[in-house]
Chain A
Amino acid sequence: MNQAIKQKTYRRVILDRQIVTDNWQYIGDEDSVPDQGDIVVSLDRWKNDQQTMSRHVGRIGVQLNEKTNIEEINISLNHIPLIVIDFPIIDTNKRGYHPVGCGYSQAYLLRSRYGYSGELRAIGDSVARDVLQYMERCGINSFDLAEGKDINDALKAFNEMTVAYQPSADKMQPAFIRRRNVA
C-alpha cells in the first residue's frame, strides 16, 4: 500500500466539531502532483505553477506558512475550498520549544477581514486539544491534529470555555458587550 493511499484511507480530521475522514493529500513543493484527487499545495506553488494547477482534475487547497503576510497575497483566496495554516513548534535558541502563534492572526485576518468562508484548517505539531478553542475563536473550523493525538479526546475542547472577554473571528459575544444589555 503506498503512502498516498494509506493517508487517504486512515486520516481523520475534525471539521465543524465533527470527526470526518479526510480526502485531501498534502503535496510538498518537490513532490509531483497526482493526476487527480483533492490536493493541497503551498501558496507559492499555487501562484507560480498555474499550468499544472489548471490541468489538475480535483479540488486544490492552499497551504500558508508562518512567513505568509496575509495582507500581501494580492489575489483573492475566497474561491479556494481549503486553506491550511501551519502551527509548528520551534526551538528558539536556548529558550526551549515554543508553539508558533502567527497562524492565529493569519486565520483571524482571512476570516474577518478578507471574508474567507471555506474550510480553514490548522496543521502542525501544536495542534492539540488544549489550543483548539483559541484556534476556533480565530476562525479555524478544521483541525488536523498533531501526530499521536486522540481525536475523540480533542473534541472535548470546544465546550471548556463558554464566556469570552473579547471579540474575535467567531460569534461569541464578549463580556463587555453582553453587559450593555444587562444594565
Chain B
Amino acid sequence: MYRYDEQDQQIMNERVAQFSDQTRRYLAGELSETEFRALRLMNGLYFQRFAPMYRIAIPYGMLSSTQLRKLAEIARTYDRGYGHFSTRQNIQFNWCKTEDIPTIFAELASVEMHSVQTSGNCIRNTTTDQLAGVAHDELEDPRPYCELIRQWSTFHPEFAYLPRKFKIAVSSSKKDRAAVQMHDIGLYMLENDDGEVGFQVWVGGGLGRTPILSQKIRGFLEKQHMFSYLEAILRVYNQHGRRDDGNRARIKIMVRDLGPEKFAELVEAEWAHIRDSALRLEDADIERIKAYFTTPDYASKTADSTDFNEKYNQNSEFARWVNQNTAEHKQEGYKAVYISLKAPGIPPGDATHEQMDLIADLADEFSFGEIRTTHDQNLVLGDVHKADLFTVWQRLQALQLATPNIGTLTDMICCPGLDFCGLANAGSIDVAEKLNERFEDLDYLYDLGELKLKMSGCMNGCGHHSVGHIGVLGVEKKGQEWYQVTLGGDASNDASLGDRIGPAFDKEGVIDAIQGIVQVYVDLREGEERFLDTYRRIGITPFKERVYAKEAA
C-alpha cells in the first residue's frame, strides 16, 4: 500500500502544528465558536450531542496493521475503548476530548494517517471497492488513482470552501461495489476501443434530503487528464453552485437544474483551458504511485488445501462462514475474508480496541499486514490463503467477529442515529438490534439471500436508506420517533432509488412491516430471484397490501 515520502510527512506534520495552534487559540478564547467551526470541521472534529466526534480518514479504505493498532490505542487511551467504522470507509470516535484532538492528530501522523477533510464543505475521502487489487472481475487496480486524487484534493487552496461537501468514488470492476453513482463525482475505469484504460466520468449523485443518482458526462477520459478534468468540474461548481440555501448546494442540484448536457458543456469549456497545464500527469507520475501497490508474495504460501477441504466438509459452521463471509480472489488458493461488524447486539460498524488489535495480528500473520474497510461497515482481510481460513475463523469467532451474515438482511448499514448524532431525529441502533432479534434464524437469512437493508436516523441519509433494497428512514413527528420504509433502492451498477411504501411506522410497527415485506418476497419470488429482482418484477402493490392490511387487522 501507499507509504508517505518526506513531502507527504512534512505536509501532515505542518498540518498537525497548524491545527494544534488553532485549537489552542480556540480554547484560549482567541477564536470564536463560529470561527473555529470551519477550521475544526476541516480537520474532522464535530461537536455533537454528548461529546465531540472525531472522524479519521482511511483513504480508499486501506489500513496497515500498524495503523489499525494505532486506532486501537486511540480507542483505549482517548475514547471509551471502541470506534465506529462509517459508510465512507472512515472511522469515528465519539468520546474524545477537544483538548486531546491535537495529540491524537499527531499520533495519526506518526503512522501516516490524518483526519483532514473528513468534514466541512470540501473534498472528502476518496472511496473505492473494498476488493480493489484482489477482485476477480477487476480491470486495473483503482487505488493508485485514488491516492493521486487524495493528494490533489488535500489542502487544495481553491476548493476548501465549496458550496457543500464533495465526494469522489472510483470503481474498476464489473460489479460496482463502491456505490459510484451516489457520489458527487464517480469514475468508472474502462477500456476504450484502442485498448487504452481510462475513466468514464459521472457527476451529480448524492443521498440526503434529495437523493439523486449521478449522470454520465464523459464517456472516456485519458488518465493523464484526470487532475485537470476533476479540477474543471470543481471550478465550475465552486463558481456557479448555489450557496444561498444549504439544502440545495450540492452539485447534484446544479447538474439536475442545468441538465447533464449543459453542465458537461461548462466543464469541457473550462477543461479546454487547463488540460495541457501543469495538471497534466506524465506516465511516470502514475507509475511512481502504482509502484506502492505491489502484488503480495502469493507464492510464499505453498500449503495445499487438503486440510481446508476436510474441515469444510466436516464442520458445517465453518462451511457456512466460508460460504457467506469470504469472496473470490483473483489468485488461485486465496480468498478475501469479510470480518462482520454486525454481530447481534452490537451497533453496526462498531469495533472494540481488543477486536482491532486481534484483526491487526491476523492481518500480519495471514494477510500480508493489510486490512480494508468497506462502505457496508465491515472489514476485509484481502489475501488469506485457504489453508489459513480455519485458524482465522476460529480466532475471529473468539471475539464475535465471525457472524456469518455478510450480504444478508442483518448485515445492515446503519448510522449512529439519535444515540450519538446531533442531527438525528430518531434512533437507528435500537431498531437494528430489534431487527437482529427478529431475524436471528441464520437458515432463514440465507434463504432470503442478498438483501440490503439500510437505515438512517434522519433525512441526511448517512445510512444510505434511499439505495437500500429495503430502506428505513427515521423521522420525528410530535416528539415521537417514526420510520418511513422504502423498497427497491440499489447502489450498484444498475442503481435506483427506493419507492416509499406508505405512511410511517412506529418502532414496533417497523419491525413487523419489514417482516411482512420479507414474507411477500418469500411467497412470490420465482426461481433464484433476489429480493430486488422480485420487487422490480412485481412492483410495490403486493407489499403495500400485506403491510397495511396487517396493520388494519
Contacts and interface: CB of A to CB of B under 8 A. Distances in A.
A138 interface: yes
Interface in A164-183: 164-168, 174-180, 183
Contacts of B282: 180
A99 B11 contact: no
Given A98-B38, A105-B239, A134-B157, A162 B14 contact: yes
A130 B41 CA distance: 13
Given A161-B18, A178-B7, A95 B160 contact: no
B284 A180 contact: yes
A147 interface: no
Contacts of B151: 165-166, 175-176
Interface in A62-118: 66, 69-70, 89-90, 92-102, 104-106, 108, 113
Nearest to B154: A165
Contacts of B249: 92
Contacts of A1: none
Contacts of A135: 157
Contacts of B22: 130
Interface stretch (B240-248, B323-331, B383-391): B240-248
A47 B152 CA distance: 38
Contacts of A131: 160-161
B246 A94 contact: yes
B285 A179 contact: yes
Interface in B12-31: 14-15, 17-18, 22
Contacts of B238: 101-102, 104-105
A97 B285 CA distance: 39
A97 B34 contact: yes
A141 interface: no
A167 B243 CA distance: 26
B11 A93 contact: no
Interface in B244-287: 244-247, 249, 273, 277-279, 281-282, 284-285
B8 A175 contact: yes
Contact of B11 (A97, A105, A108, A163): A163
A133 interface: yes
A163 B7 contact: yes
Contacts of A138: 157-158
Contacts of B17: 160
B11 A98 contact: no
B288 A165 contact: no
Contacts of A96: 37, 246
Contacts of B159: 101, 104
A98 B8 contact: no
Interface residues of A, number: 47
A166 B156 contact: yes
Nearest to A140: B157
A137 interface: yes
A141 B158 CA distance: 15
A120 B443 CA distance: 68
A165 B158 contact: no
A59 to B, nearest CB: 28
Contacts, number: 129
A166 to B, nearest CB: 5
A43 interface: no
A93 B244 contact: yes
A41 interface: no
B11 A101 contact: no
A93 B244 CA distance: 7
A165 to B, nearest CB: 4
A71 B121 CA distance: 24
A179 B151 CA distance: 13
Nearest to A167: B278
A104 B161 contact: yes
Interface string B35-53: 1011100000000000000
A166 B7 contact: no
B39 A130 contact: yes
Contacts of A163: 7, 10-11, 14
Contacts of A134: 155, 157-158, 160
B168 to A, nearest CB: 14
B285 A167 contact: no
A93 B245 CA distance: 5
B5 interface: yes
Contacts of B418: none
A99 B161 contact: yes
B34 A93 contact: no
A72 to B, nearest CB: 11
Contacts of B278: 167, 174, 177
B37 to A, nearest CB: 7
Contacts of A130: 22, 35, 39
Nearest to A173: B278
B246 A95 contact: yes
Nearest to B160: A134
A113 B273 contact: yes
Contacts of A106: 239
Interface in A7-28: none
B157 A99 contact: no
A121 B14 CA distance: 26
A98 B243 contact: yes
Interface in A119-167: 126, 128, 130-131, 133-135, 137-138, 160-167
A167 B278 CA distance: 7
B216 interface: no
B235 interface: yes
B170 interface: no
B157 A104 contact: yes
Nearest to A87: B161
Contacts of A176: 148, 151, 281, 285
A158 to B, nearest CB: 12
Contacts of B161: 98-101, 104, 126, 131
Smallest CB-CB A-B distances: 4 pairs? A101-B161, A95-B246, A92-B246, A137-B157
Interface of A: 66, 69-70, 89-90, 92-102, 104-106, 108, 113, 126, 128, 130-131, 133-135, 137-138, 160-168, 174-180, 183
Given A101-B159, A166-B151, 4 more contacts: A93-B246, A97-B34, A165-B153, A167-B278
6 contacts: A99-B38, A101-B162, A105-B239, A130-B35, A163-B14, A166-B151
